[in-house]
Structure 1
Amino acid sequence: MAQLCEEFTLCGLPSGGGGLRAVGPAGLDRVIVTHEDRTVTVYKVSDQKPLGSWTVKQTQKISCPAIYNNLTGEYVVVHDHKVLRIWKDEDVNLEKSFKATLAADIYQIHTLPDTEPLVLFEGGSVRQLDALLSAPQQEIESVISKGEVIRWSDVLLEAGSPVILFVTEKDGLFHLYAQKLNPNICHKFKLDSGDKNVRPLSFVLCFKQEGISLMCLYSSGCIYEMPLLLNRNSTEKVQILPQSLLLKLPNCETSLDHATILVLDETHVAVLGVPYSHQCTVKDCLSIWNISFQTLQAWKEFPEGSSGQLWCFNGKLFVPHGKVLTVIPFTCEISSLAVVLGKLKQPDAAVKSVSSIVNWNTMLRGAQSAQPVPTPELILSKPEPKRRLRNRKSQDVNPQPQPLPLDQFLTEIQSSTKEKIDEQLKSLMRNLQQSNAQLIIAQIATILVSRCKTQVKFYPQKALVSILKTQMLSYSLCPDLMAVALDEADYSMLQLCLQHFPDIPEAVTCACLKLFLSVSDSDLEKVALDLGSVASYVELDQPSSKAEEKMEIVENGFSPLLLEEDSYDGKETSDPLQSDGILTCPISLKRAVLLNEILLSSYSETFLLPCLKDLSVPQVVLFLRYVEYLYMKQCETTSAEIPGDRIPTVNQVLDWISLLLDAHFTVLVMATETRGVITNLHKLIKCQVKLCSQLSKIEGSLQNVRELKSQKSDALYSIEVIKIF
């Protein structure tokens, strides 16, 4: 399955989508945007802010998108078809950067990680950038015939050597060229759609385990795949590429004007500029299709229109539309028929036996090709030899009960008592092997949870805990388990679920958080929880000899003295977390254990924020005070990490502080009871800003010291004093 996540705007486009020439990668979390006019800008995607911008003179015009050379850390752009400009991040004026004028017009510059950039000329010749810079006026021959125009190009690595691929058009005929450098070989292929009225709109390379292929979207709405056989020896000068139909897009009875296709993975493609259904009237749509099952996975409409341009880097789609450049993160999961059928909800609530396994041969090829499928049985450990059994007869005073057959066990747990279920389940667990254990565990849990929902007084807590401790269960295998635990307010069960389930939905996580914040300390005292190493750093509000000591060491930007100096409004405010200079935890030890499981849980900010808004103001304040306490405890150590297991990191604590402030910003600003915690957080931020400022000054001073050239001295002995201000 594929999913489009929440979009955000990277930058504005002064003249709409048509004002953008290209978007390319420029390192980790950075892209380089080339505008149609005269500007090249580098953006940091996560921060949505420009890191640098360069412009050519008014009489010049960029004719080729800029690229980033990760080998040298330099940017390269072409203006006026023949002039190369090369610069770095620290260069301010593009006119003062390196300049080279070539002898022929450039079509595109391609780059791959850890390889030298390749320059493709409009005549089809390819040169390495270094070779051109050493002799800019070298003669450039023409590979394609007169009148041929390059429409698309890309680069790939074959056996460690780069290969430039480009498609040309002449008199309505399209050809694909594969230009190799080492050795210098050029292959030519003919693209034949079989229909003179159909023309290719977009090309993209596809890398699969079977090999490399070229995908093409035609104006008829058909997507074809053409395998590239670059090593095949052929006597023909022009070979015809074989093609196979992958997907026929809907509502393409009329010829398409512009559309773009991108390959996301082996089974998913993104299409821009084609309606996602027959009912859609908006043509400028972004859709993700599964080419294996011919199914639509996700879509997004652009009513304001788009230019048909689409790029993909690091799991994000870049789409210029209207007057902005939009970034759309996406996720793609491996699709299979079993996964698709497994997601279908069964209308019958009755639990099926383990023996009912789907026969895929019957479903795919019919009953005639069906082969008998053995029903899975409980795999028990091998019996011991008879001689050993005879020797142990006198030792087994209380022999272990024999496990029931699996079908009988699944039937009996629907009506047996909790004590009998615990006894039989313990015997069953000892004889399980890994081959089918997870399937059996999931069925047992589903049956027990279904019975809990129908019988109010039935709650086999001991049996469910035993199942959870096997670590073979997940939330998706038994979704109702946590719902039952929430209804029963079983805190130990919820703690185990949060520890072992990696796929808990954000709504369920917030339901657990709401329960942990609303329970009274007296009720928690009766609950048996795994405290782990939380007690090693949680200091409750109790008299201690440490209260006489004052914290004067500044580590990681934290110091109580600094907090007293930096007041929010110039008035003295008492810190509820400090008592005579020592930090005290605002909540009980067991509540801290439960809240730590929430802080360590996996989540998506898009889905978590709406759920956090259901928390009440007292709950938000209590949670904020605890995460503030965690942050201050972490700042006491030089490593900024509290030792122990199941302890949130500094980044996790800061992320949750941001989430809580984002979800309840208006309430926290207006409510009077939140003033104290907001004031403390504000002072903590000011301390961190001061620390970063001082570190920047030290960094600059050390940088200057490192750049000082050592002066030669004829003296045998000398003393050099360096002062850092």
Structure 2
Amino acid sequence: MAALEEEFTLSAVHLSAGPDGLLGVEQSHKTDQFLVTDSSRTVILYKVSDQKPLGSWSVKQGQVITCPAVCNFQTGEYIVVHDNKVLRIWNNEDVNLDKVFKATLSAEVYRIHSIQGTEPLVLFKEGAVRGLEALLAEPQQKIETVISDEEVIKWTKLFMVYRHPVLIYITEKHGAYFAYVQTFNSSVLSKYTLLHEQEEKSVIQSFTASVDRKVISLMSLSSDGCVYETLIPVHPGNQEKSRKIVRSLLLKDTVSGSTQNGAALAVLDRDHVAVLGPPLPAAKDRLSIWNTKFQTLQTSKDLPQGTSRQVWYYGENLFILHGKFLVVIPYKCEVSSLAGALGKLKYSQDPGTHAMSHFVNWEASQGFGAGSQDSEQSKRILRRRKVEMSTQSEVPVSTQLLSTIKKDNEKHIEVELRKFLAAKRTPEFYTTVGDVVIGLVERCKAEPSFYPRNSVMQLIQTHGLSYSLCPGLMEVALEKTDVQVLQLCLQQFPDIPESATCACLKLFLSVSDDSLQEADVSMDSVSDCSDAVHDETMEQQPGILQNGFRPEDSNCNNCEKHQDTGDEATSCPVTPKRAALLNVILRAAYSEAFLLPHLKDIPAQHVTLFLQYLYFLYLKCNENATMTLPGIHPPTLNQIMDWICLLLDANFTVVVMIPEAKRLLLNLYKFVKSQICICSELNKIEVSFRELQKLNQEKNNRELYSIEVLELF
């Protein structure tokens, strides 16, 4: 999963972007600072967190910068080349580029590469590479020609592999593309010819690459709108001068195939790439993130003001020239796996309970072997099973049940379902359960009066369902305001999307108390919710400690006493059944980046109510030293704090404007200050114990008696 966050402008200054856009965006020796080189005369140093420039340097009138400025990570200085051969080196204190160090080279420079761990490397237009130090020692040294006549460098990138630099650059000649790999620890230059797997001619519009120490994954975005991948070994096994490698299709139709202005491609991690270009002919530009492992579109963002079709990425930020301004678009990419797509499971298996699998082994249920990879063999097995079933004289219970749910009434369906659940379970059991639920959901949508609630609950409790297996089930339950079924789904399904979780939260907060009174809700996670917090432990009685800390005895000036925390601190703001429903939301799996946008749609009064309940739970956790809530499956303190942060992050501006939430925010602020004070005191105690431990070790080495005084804070 991936998400694009809200963009922000790096600077309000117009950048001089030529027809080909900017020359480059390069990272400085400080992670939050970047060098931006326009297409004419200026280099600007920006600080992203402050969204402002820290310095600007320009060459004289008549001079033109011909390659992006970079930072020498070994010295902290900046390097740029203008007029193809003139190299300049300066630092932050320099003002005029005309007065800084200058070196005129003997050949034209294509690009300067600089990354952490090695000196800057200069790539010349003829394919030769020189280290900066050797080049500065003899600027007019002869530069050899590596590439052939009419061969032009199109793209280049530098990697660090086993602490040694490896440079790759791509050239083009008469529509043919070549890859050169230069390893500097062994001084080996390898040349490869890039061939299309279907032998079709296409213009490559953008390149990007990643490396995993042994193989370089070169990706290219072609004029047909598809992304291709080429695997190039870092250290080739043979020493042939020319090798041929094939470009294989990786992603199809990522951008419009008829675009004339090009498109951009950037690899974000092992399984995600960013594509910038028009999605359809004559459409506005769009930034998209694709998953290369599952070949799916993860997220996209329209850029209506147009772009230069260039994209740079550093850390978790994308840099794009949107209109006339350079903007930064933060992004997040989760681990590309099915487990990662399910979100963060905030709770673990309770001790003593039987671990039940939430997923169906589809290969086992269909009778496939563990090592079977042949699709034709799988089809033959399925056909054989169908023939065997057709020759059986007795109709299986599952077949009878699937036929019943299409036409019979709810009571008859319950009878057939009990027969099915009582029968001996076969490998196809969970597959049939999914088919039954899908059949029930389809009939519920077709017949609004039909809702076999008891049958649905029995099927959910088989522990063999998931949201992806029956996505319409929770939708029907939401329409019927069936909070009990929704509670079961939230407890049983491991893959509920954040949008569905938030929809359940909205329902749990808005449903009336009268409707909840009639609902049969599991109360395992709730214990004495309606009792006052101060009945036993929150009363300010002499000699009683609160979580090992007595506020009145503290001399910490920053701590706030909790004598008057308002009505929110004395009683639960919701009924016990509503509390049980909200607790299952707190324990649900979610991914923060995808949940936040949906939380912004919750009405303000419901946000305030949920915050009051979370604040109440927080006070309950502070009643004892274990910082836990009573109950069988209560939410944890971390889950409570995470949801407080999520709600405030998504709705802080709205909450601040609500008068009813003013006292709540003030109480939350006081508790944050008190916790900081408590942590500070605990740190002091930790330091004291460390000093005691050191003294005990020293005493073991001493033979003479001595008296020592340890001064505590």
Q: TM-score, normalised by structure 2?
A: 0.66
- Other-structure match for 1:478: 470
Q: Which amino acid aligns with 1:629?
A: F
Task: Give the equivalent residue in structure 2 for 1:596.
Answer: 583
Aligned residues: 628
Change (3 A) 1:376 1:64: farther
Once the 2 structures are TM-superposed, how far is the Cα of residue 530 of structure 1 from its aligned partner?
3.1
- Counterpart AA for 1:441: V
Q: Structure 1 residues 628, 144: CA separation in 2 closer, same or farther (over 3 Å shift)? A: farther
Pair 1:38–1:688, CA change in 2 (3 A): farther
- Structure 1 residue 444 displacement after superposition: 0.9
The question of whether the paired residues in 2 share the 8 Å contact of 1:6 and 1:328 is answered with: yes
Structure 1 segment 315-714 matched on structure 2, within 5 A: 317-321=318-322, 322-329=324-331, 373-374=382-383, 404-416=396-408, 418=410, 420-431=412-423, 435-453=427-445, 459-506=451-498, 508-519=500-511, 524=516, 527-535=519-527, 538=529, 540-541=531-532, 544=535, 546=537, 550=541, 553=545, 575-578=566-569, 583-601=570-588, 602=590, 609=597, 613-615=601-603, 617=605, 619-636=606-623, 642=629, 646-661=633-648, 668-669=655-656, 671-688=658-675
Structure 2 residue matching 1:425: 3-state secondary structure: helix
What CA deviation, in whole Å up to 9, does each residue of 1:153-177 have, x standing for no partner? 3345779976332246899997532
Corresponding residue for residue 361 of structure 2: none
In the aligned structure 2, how far is the partner of 1:53 from the partner of 1:698? 45
Q: CA deviation at 1:38?
A: 6.2
Tell me the equivalent position of 1:360.
none
Deviation of residue 614 (structure 1)?
A: 4.9
Number of the residue aligned with 2:157: 154
Counterpart AA for 2:219: M
- Residue 15 of structure 2 corresponds to 16
Deviations 1:88-142 (A, max 9, x none): xxxx9999xxxx999999821245xxxx44643335677999xx79x99699995
Q: Quote the residue 2:206 is aligned against.
A: 202
CA contact (8 A) 1:498 1:597 kept: yes
Q: Given the alignment, which residue of 185, 190, 195 partners 1:187?
A: 190
CA distance in 2, matches of 1:699, 1:335: 41
- The Cα of 1:496 is off from its aligned counterpart by 0.8
**Cα distance between partner residues in 2 of 1:26 and 1:285:** 31
CA distance in 2, matches of 1:408, 1:117: 71
Moved more, 174-183 or 237-246: 237-246
Equivalent residue, structure 1, for 2:219 = 215
Residue identity opposite 2:504 in structure 1? C
* Alignment map for 1:306-321 (pairs within 5 Å): 306-312=307-313, 317-321=318-322
Task: Note the C-alpha offset of 1:552.
Answer: 6.3
Conserved? CA contact 1:24–1:33, under 8 Å: yes
Q: Once the 2 structures are TM-superposed, how far is the Cα of residue 427 of structure 1 from its aligned partner?
A: 3.8
Structure 2 counterpart SS, 1:622: helix
**CA distance in 2 between partners of 1:83 and 1:703 (Å):** 53
Contact 2:210 2:267 in 1 (8 A): yes
Contact 1:14 1:323 in 2 (8 A): yes
Q: 2:266 corresponds to which residue? A: 262
Matched, 1:107 2:112: yes
Q: Distance in 2 between matches of 1:492 and 1:231?
A: 61
- Secondary structure of the residue aligned to 2:583 is helix
| Distance verdict in 2 for CA 1:488–1:16, change over 3 Å | same
Equivalent residue of 1:205, what SS? strand
**Would the aligned equivalents of 2:525 and 2:580 in 1 still touch at CA under 8 Å?**
no
Q: Aligned-pair distance for 1:329? A: 2.6
- 2:346: which partner in 1? none
Name the counterpart of 1:5: 4
CA–CA distance in structure 2, aligned partners of residues 473 and 210 of structure 1: 42
The equivalences for 1:67-216 within 5 A come to 78-79=78-79, 107-110=112-115, 116-117=117-118, 119-122=120-123, 144-145=145-146, 152-155=155-158, 163-167=166-170, 176-189=179-192, 201-205=205-209, 212-216=216-220
Tell me the SS of whatever aligns to 2:567.
Answer: coil
* Equivalent residues of 1:179, 1:187 under 8 A apart: yes
Judging changes above 3 Å, is the alpha-carbon distance between structure 1 residues 300 and 688 closer, same or farther for their aligned structure 2 residues?
same
5+ residue gaps in structure 1?
A: 69-73, 87-91, 337-356, 358-366, 381-401, 707-713
Alpha-carbon distance in structure 2 between the residues aligned to 1:243 and 1:553 = 70
Q: Which amino acid in 2 is paired with 1:261?
A: L
- Partner Cα distance (1:168, 1:292) in 2: 28
Deviation at 1:25, TM superposition (A): 11
Distance 1:17 1:646 in 2: 60
Query: Distance between the aligned counterparts of 2:160 and 2:487, measured in 1?
Result: 49
Alpha-carbon distance change, 453 to 39 in structure 1, aligned in 2, over 3 angstroms: closer
Shift of 1:204: 1.9
Q: Give the counterpart letter for 2:303 in structure 1.
A: F
| Aligned equivalents of 2:675, 2:511: Cα separation in 1 | 34
Question: Is contact 2:45–2:53 with CA below 8 Å preserved after alignment?
Answer: yes
Contact 1:609/1:659 (8 A) holds in 2: no
Indicate which of 65, 69, 87 corresponds to 2:70: 65
Structure 1, residues 242-270: CA drift from partner, whole Å, max 9, x if none? 556776887676864x6432246788754
CA contact (8 A) 1:557 1:687 kept: no
- Residue 497 of structure 1, CA deviation: 0.9
| 1:58-78 superposed Cα distances (whole Å, 9 cap, x missing partner) | 99999653487xxxxx89654
* Distance (Å, rounded) in 1 between the aligned partners of 2:499 and 2:123: 56
Which letter maps to 1:594? L
Deviation string 1:590-609 (CA, Å, 9 cap, x unpaired) is 32221111223326666655
Q: CA offsets, 1:548-568, max 9 Å, x none? A: 553865669996999x99999
Contact 1:76–1:84 (8 Å) recurs in 2: no
Deviates more, 1:370-379 or 1:597-606: 370-379
The residue aligned with 2:241 is 237
Cα distance in 2 between the residues matched to 1:546 and 1:318: 54
Instruction: Name the residue aligned to 1:709.
Output: none
Q: Is the 8 A contact 1:449 1:484 kept in 2?
A: yes
The whole-number CA distance in structure 2 between the counterparts of 1:488 and 1:55 is 61
User: 1:479: how far off?
Assistant: 3.3
Instruction: List runs of 5+ in structure 2 lacking aligned partners.
Output: 82-86, 96-100, 339-365, 367-375, 694-701
Q: Conserved in 2, the CA contact under 8 Å of 1:558 and 1:636?
A: no
State the secondary structure of the residue aligned to 2:438: helix
Instruction: Output one character per residue of 1:177-222: Cα deviation in whole Å (capped at 9) or x when no partner.
Output: 2122454322134569999x99765322267999655334567978
If the length of structure 1 is used for normalisation, what is the TM-score? 0.65
From the superposition, tell whether residues 660 and 23 of structure 1 become closer, same or farther in structure 2 (CA, over 3 Å).
Answer: same
C-alpha spacing 1:299/1:509, structure 2 compared with 1 (3 Å): closer
Q: Residues 516 and 177 (structure 1 numbering): CA distance in 2 closer, same or farther, change over 3 Å?
A: closer
- Whether contact under 8 Å (2:268, 2:274) holds in the other structure is yes
Structure 1 vs Structure 2 CA RMSD: 6.3
Task: Kindly state the Cα deviation for residue 417 of structure 1 after the two structures are TM-superposed.
Answer: 5.3
